[in-house]
Structure 1
């Protein structure tokens, strides 16, 4: 999921450089959502791992 977030971020940067504002905005939004989802799942996984370890 982090991989796709980085891919959409790169797409947004390239689109922004070439002047495609709509595509850049959409790609940046998708990248942001995927990154937040990645962080949430990462934290949940860490909490579950520590809870199971006891």
Structure 2
């Protein structure tokens, strides 16, 4: 399967945009953000065992 360069760039830009939006959201809602991160981490730990 061959990737189109423009598609790759679009995927990368989308990921960067989501990351920046997440960081901005975390700055405004630090407690809520921490809770979500803890939930995600605990799920990952449970899955790995």
TM tier, smaller:
0.5 to 0.7
Gaps of 5+ in 2: 32-49
Moved over 4 A (4+): none
1:3-48, CA deviations, whole angstroms, 9 ceiling, x for partnerless residues?
Answer: xxxxxxxxxxxxxxx442010000101110110000000111028x
Gaps of 5+ in 1: 1-17, 48-54
Question: Which one scores higher on RCO, CA 8 angstroms, separation ≥ 6?
Answer: 1
Q: TM-score, normalised by structure 1?
A: 0.48
Q: Does 1:25 align with 2:18?
A: no
Aligned residues: 30
Q: TM-score, normalised by structure 2?
A: 0.52
